[in-house]
């Protein structure tokens, strides 16, 4: 039963890795804004106003205090979920133009801080 004993330890390290590598306060707002702009996010989003998608301020307010907020947005930004547009059509949500998880998490921290 070695595996059973190991499992909690593995889970704890995964959670620690995911949570601790990007403390909530340590994000680079300029880099995040630049990557969001470069990725075309601001065509549909603004920090404070609703456009095709919700304002990042609203997303931050909705997810405030939720333990899985970062994970939820990471999934949203990496798995191309279908989203409904104002005209009723559906399309795959776009992703950030980077392959670096740290850059994606930086944008998530920035969004959650609005
Ligand atoms: C074609 C328009 C469009 C583009 C481009 C777009 N989004 Fe969105 N986004 C949406 C819509 C519409 C929703 C609402 C989805 C829903 O509520 O089902 C959304 C939702 C979101 C949410 C909220 C997710 C949640 O679970 O609350 C975030 C954060 C977000 N987008 C970030 C981004 C980022 C970062 C980019 C750039 C990589 C981006 N979006 C590009 C239309 C867009």
Closest residue CA from atom 39 of ligand 1? 41
Dihedral sign from CA coordinates of 18, 21, 25, 29: negative
Domain ranges of the chain: 24-112
Closest residue CA from atom 41 of ligand 1? 41
Q: Among 83, 89, 90, 106, which is best to mutate for testing ligand 1, by the most ligand atoms less than 8 A from CB?
A: 83
24-112: which CATH topology?
Cytochrome Bc1 Complex; Chain D, domain 2 (1.10.760)
Phi-psi region of 53 (alpha: psi -120 to 50; beta: other; left: phi over 0): beta
**Which residues does residue 92 pair with via DSSP β-bridges, in sequence order?**
82
Distance CA 35, CA 42 (A): 10
Phi, psi of 91 (to 5 degrees): -145, 165
pTM for the predicted model, two decimal places = 0.83
User: pLDDT by residue (tens digit) across 2-57?
Assistant: 666 665 565 555 555 555 544 446 899 999 999 999 999 999 999 999 999 999 99
């Amino acid at each position: 039963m070695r595996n059973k004993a190991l499992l909690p330890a593995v889970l704890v390290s995964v959670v620690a890795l995911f949570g601790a590598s990007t403390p909530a306060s340590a994000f680079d707002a300029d880099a995040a804004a630049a990557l969001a702009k470069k990725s075309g996010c601001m065509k549909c989003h603004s920090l404070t106003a609703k456009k095709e998608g919700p304002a990042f301020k609203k997303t931050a307010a909705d997810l405030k205090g939720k333990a899985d907020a970062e994970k939820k947005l990471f999934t949203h930004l990496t798995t191309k979920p279908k989203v409904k547009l104002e005209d009723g059509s559906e399309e795959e949500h776009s992703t950030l133009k980077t392959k670096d998880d740290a850059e994606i998490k930086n944008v998530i921290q920035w969004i959650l801080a609005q």
